Structure 1
Amino acid sequence: QVWVSSQGTVTPRTESTLIPEVSGRVIKVFPAFREGSFFEKGQELLQIDPSNYQLAVTVVQSQVAEMKLALAEEQAKARQAEKNWQRLGQGKQAADLVLRKPQLEGAKASLAAAEALLKKARLDQQRTHILAPYAGRILEQQVDIGQYVSQGTILAEIYSVDYAEIRLPLSNEQLQFIDIPELYRGQDQQIPVMPEVTLIANIGLHNNQWQGRIVRTESAYDTRSRRLSLVAQVDNPYAKTAENKPTLKVGQFVEARIKGKLLKNVFIIPRTAIRNSSQLMIVNQQSQLNLRQIEILWRDADYVIIQQGLEEGEWLCITPVQYAVNGLPVRALNEGKPILINQGIQQI
């Protein structure tokens, strides 16, 4: 089983800037509106002085009432104009202006405009209550009580807490040992089965691990490192666990082990047995060293994997030999017992 190593920094999946849609003085700040505090979707974070917007609602309500009265009067005039024409029009077709149809449509339009202004005034009044757009956490608070804010003022930087993401750069050599389904334009965007990933970070003297999965690849290689990043995702990273394990923090550096392919018909060799980066020392039947060139399929910090260069039953020398040459006589031991009985000059 191949495990591919990488490293990255924890980032939120969703990060936003909280900005008011109305202007005014901040009159109330709730406890959730502090750096590091958690909040739920729809929870009120702070309130802007609503006085001006309450007055605006009252003013527009009076305008709506006036427009309703004007419409009622115009409807009465239109009915009267139609009766007058029926009595005096001698059966002719009446013009719209005579029947006051344009005046009636104008009154209706004025009422609709006044009602729209009332809706906007009430909406502005509601917007003095700053609500959380999603369940998240305050990353950086930038205003406090008593401060005047206008449209476009940054109130805070916030991020969601449903997922944490880590971008893990990998080389082409590493990518070939991971099963990442390729996505194509126009195909059904079904979520494929993606590799598991274990995230590791040392906090003080404790080694902590979190389980996640790869959810996607980035769309382009990094032009400087020539690496492609996989994006790992950890679900609900801020929930309390039975072990009271620390939560992932935004900006935290972590190491990652990505579950790769299962290799078959291969040899797993300790890295200490590799000489000159690509040679093995084989002990032949004459108790002599045989230096053999190999091609390494995979390597990590402790082992290398090869597919060719060894035969089943051969003895591999894992002891470093400073001056190893082909044909060097040796005395090979396995767990302290000789494996080949032959006279030699060097014990390994």
Structure 2
Amino acid sequence: MRFLLRAVRFILPFVVLGACVFVTWYLLKNPPPQEKKEMPPTFVRVEGTVLNKTEYELRVRSQGTVQPRTRSTLLPEVSGKIIEISPSFRPGGFFGQGDVLMRLDPLDYETAIVIAKGTLAQAEVMLAEEKARADQAVENWRAMGRTGTPSALVTRAPQVAKAEADVASAKAQIMKAERDLERTTIRSPYACQVLEQAVDVGQFVSQGTILGRIFAVDYVEIRLPLPERESQFLKLPQSFRDQSTATEDGAKVFLKSIVAGKPVAWEGKIVRVEGSLDAETRQATAVAQVTDPYARRADGSPPLTIGAFVEAEISGEPLRDVYIIPRNAVRAGNEIILIDRPQNTLRRLTVDPLVSNEKHIVVSASAAKAPKPGDVLCITPIPFPADGARVLPSIDGQMEADTAKEDKPAGKEPPMMVKPATT
């Protein structure tokens, strides 16, 4: 009995191992049938819009700093002590053309006029005496029985000429003294605003002393660099050697800036284009002019001050027969995606925009690489679009029919829809 138990214990593991090998061999030789399933194609749901020719109002953007059209440093033409200064002659004060800015002590120049008039009186007396001597000399010469024309020395012509010159000199001295007296009153050469005051009452000034600095307020100028691509569509006044211009009126300019935390707008126009390109950017520079920038406006907006930084939009000629393509539908390298109907397949197209900004690009409909009227533009960003890939578009808010159902074999499920990846 004990022997039998030992034999069973020895044989049983081999029996189990053999059974496992047999089952494994049988399963390998007779595998169970596997059910085959086909994965349906995955289509991306996208938004599209039909492209139609339209007209685009061009606005070329630029920026610049407000500068005065004329800036002057005031210098006295005569010397003297300042005895009066206008209360408005302070930084920010306004003056009209010819207004009195300050006065110098006129006493020395009034005295000079009196002295010059006395000199003139003496010179006129000497001239009268010389003319009388000349007449008497001619009579004496004829009384001596001489005939012919007396010489210049006989008629005292040199003496008379000197006396006449002395009279003219005295008159010139009076005119100079009167001009110097007028120059003691310093007036504004044009309508201006005071930028800097350098002197005050009681100070003695001489020729070359800086009294202050002013700038004209009839209009201001803004230098605006022009982008090369967009500038071809602008109406720019061009100057020529014969002083003529290609266009009489420049393009309108709309300026805006932030003043005291509030947006303020002004309107001006392009008056000229500078004669040379910028050495660094190779761009042309247009000069915009805003008339009467310090006038009070009905809306209470502040004036356009010197030194203000402004953003400008230059009105250009309207672009006709163009497509306006949203910026979010444009990929790197100015590539757009079109949806070809009725199969709703993708087609990539590289375009050459006429102008562009952060919102859209404008493409000419007549360009060699341009969409055709009625083409559908895909406005949904697709990370990796492939030519010929099929999508499910919603065109201008209307869902297109699923053309994939027409190609679906009988008994198959419709294609599964997935949302596109966003960028």
* 1:38 alignment counterpart: 94
Per-residue deviation, residues 274-298 of structure 1 (Å, max 9, x unmatched) = 0113111112222232222222221
Q: Report the secondary structure of 1:331's partner residue.
A: strand
Q: How does 1:182-261 map to 2 (within 5 A)?
A: 182-186=238-242, 188=244, 192-261=248-317
* 2:355 alignment counterpart: 298
User: 2 CA distance for matches of 1:47 and 1:3?
Assistant: 51
* Superposition deviation, residue 335 in structure 1: 5.5
Q: Report the secondary structure of 2:272's partner residue.
A: strand
- Does residue 82 of structure 1 match 2:82? no
User: Which amino acid counterpart does residue 128 of structure 2 have in structure 1?
Assistant: A
Q: Which deviates more, 327-336 or 46-55?
A: 327-336
Q: 2:390 aligns with which of 299, 306, 329?
A: 329
Q: Which deviates more, 75-84 or 260-269?
A: 75-84
* Superposition deviation, residue 263 in structure 1: 1.0
Pair 103,189 (structure 1): closer, same or farther in 2 beyond 3 Å: farther
* 1:60 alignment counterpart: 116
Q: How does 1:88-127 map to 2 (within 5 A)?
A: 88-127=144-183
Count of residue pairs the alignment pairs up: 348
User: 2 CA distance for matches of 1:223 and 1:322?
Assistant: 41
Given that 1:332 and 1:347 are in contact with CA atoms closer than 8 Å, whether structure 2 keeps it comes out as: no
Pair 152,274 (structure 1): closer, same or farther in 2 beyond 3 Å: same
* Superposition deviation, residue 246 in structure 1: 1.0
* Superposition deviation, residue 142 in structure 1: 1.3
* Superposition deviation, residue 138 in structure 1: 0.8
Pair 52,190 (structure 1): closer, same or farther in 2 beyond 3 Å: farther
User: 2 CA distance for matches of 1:92 and 1:294?
Assistant: 103
* Superposition deviation, residue 231 in structure 1: 0.5
- Return structure 1 stretches of 4+ with deviation > 6 angstroms: none
Pair 189,124 (structure 1): closer, same or farther in 2 beyond 3 Å: farther
User: Which amino acid counterpart does residue 352 of structure 2 have in structure 1?
Assistant: E
Q: Report the secondary structure of 1:177's partner residue.
A: coil
Q: Which deviates more, 328-337 or 133-142?
A: 328-337
Question: Taking structure 2 as the reference length, what is the TM-score of the superposition?
Answer: 0.79
User: 1 CA distance for matches of 2:246 and 2:86?
Assistant: 41
* Superposition deviation, residue 229 in structure 1: 0.5
Which structure has more relative contact order (CA 8 Å, sep 6+)? It is 2
How many percent identity over aligned positions? 39
Unaligned runs of 5+ residues in structure 1 are none
The CA RMSD measured in Å over matched residues stands at 1.7
User: 2 CA distance for matches of 1:295 and 1:16?
Assistant: 49
